[in-house]
């Protein structure tokens, strides 16, 4: 991942839930001062209130960024289900529905995907999408401050929320194609699916242009 600029780091901090919570709670300091409740030391009290709000609003634990391919089928599905459950609260209703369909498709093709052990295999890139690209994409999205996701314009004039919505829609469509192509043993179509997924998901960081 490329080093983030000072401007980007500053924006992520300003948009962060921790900073917003801290600022909101810190406003009580001047309010109490004007109300005559506190006098001397109001600056320290205000700083303490900001610190308390910042601690309260700290971002949640990060999502897993990849799923080990050494795990059993059952363990992979368990990890995937945990990842989906952790991501759900941060998504819109449409995103949740798409992610549920993606999980359903993965459940159908994962046994075949686990046979892809080399870069020459038709399903290698599809497996990489399931085990690495999807977890990294969701983890990078959840790591962004909620207000930043919705309002700050990133690639192609779109916000992180809009970009993720598009990516999940593409992934949903392509994995359903994969399910059909696996059933039909269409190797040529599977190669095309894999190439498309690699092109779309090999850079899962929303902040990279």
Summarize pLDDT for 150-179 with one digit per residue, the tens. Answer: 888 887 788 989 989 988 998 888 888 888
Q: How far is 29 from 111, CA to CA, in rounded Å?
A: 59
Provide the H-helix boundaries in 39-159.
Answer: 42-56, 73-87, 93-113, 124-128, 134-143, 146-151
- Burial environment of residue 134 by CB neighbours within 10 A (0 to 12, 13 to 18, 19 or more): buried
In terms of pLDDT, which residue wins out, 184 or 51? 51
pLDDT band at 189 (very low <50, low <70, confident <90, very high): low
Highest mean pLDDT among 40-44, 58-62, 86-90, 126-130: 86-90
Q: What pLDDT sits at residue 118?
A: 45
pTM: 0.70
Q: How far is 113 from 13, CA to CA, in rounded Å?
A: 40
Q: Residue 120 pLDDT > 50, yes or no?
A: no
Q: What pLDDT sits at residue 61?
A: 63
User: Residue 92: helix, strand or coil by DSSP?
Assistant: coil
**Quick one: which of 132, 135, 140 has its CA closest to 116?**
132
**Using alpha carbons only, how large is the chain's radius of gyration in Å?**
22
- Residue 117 burial (CB count, 10 A): 11
Q: Residue 99 pLDDT > 80, yes or no?
A: yes
Contact 181, 114 (CB under 8 A): no
Q: How far is 90 from 206, CA to CA, in rounded Å?
A: 15
pLDDT band at 73 (very low <50, low <70, confident <90, very high): confident
Q: How far is 59 from 18, CA to CA, in rounded Å?
A: 7
Average of per-residue pLDDT across 184-205: 63
Q: How far is 158 from 149, CA to CA, in rounded Å?
A: 10
Q: Residue 132 pLDDT > 60, yes or no?
A: yes
5-24 pLDDT tens trace: 777 777 777 777 777 777 88
Contacts (Cβ under 8 Å, ≥6 apart) of 92: 161, 165
Token readout for 49 is 């209130």
Q: How far is 162 from 159, CA to CA, in rounded Å?
A: 5
Q: What pLDDT sits at residue 119?
A: 44
44-65 pLDDT tens trace: 888 888 888 777 777 666 788 8
């Amino acid at each position: 991942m490329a080093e983030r600029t000072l401007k980007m780091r500053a924006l992520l901090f300003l948009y962060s839930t921790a900073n917003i919570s801290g600022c909101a709670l810190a406003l009580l300091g001047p309010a109490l001062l004007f109300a005559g409740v506190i006098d001397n030391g109001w600056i320290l009290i205000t700083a303490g209130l900001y610190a308390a709000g910042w601690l309260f609003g700290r971002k949640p634990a990060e999502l897993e960024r990849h799923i080990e391919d050494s795990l059993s089928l059952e363990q992979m599905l368990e990890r995937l289900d945990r990842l989906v459950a952790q991501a759900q609260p941060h998504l819109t209703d449409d995103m949740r529905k798409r992610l549920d369909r993606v999980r359903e498709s993965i459940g159908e093709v994962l046994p075949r995907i686990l046979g892809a052990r080399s870069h020459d295999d038709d399903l290698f890139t599809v497996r990489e999408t399931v085990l690495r690209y999807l977890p990294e994409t969701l983890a990078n999205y959840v790591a962004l401050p909620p207000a930043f996701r919705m309002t700050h314009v990133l690639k192609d004039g779109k916000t992180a929320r809009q970009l993720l919505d598009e990516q999940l829609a593409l992934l949903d469509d392509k994995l359903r194609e994969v399910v059909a192509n696996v059933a039909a043993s269409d190797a040529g179509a599977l190669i095309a699916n894999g190439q498309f997924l690699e092109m779309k998901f090999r850079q899962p960081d929303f902040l990279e242009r």
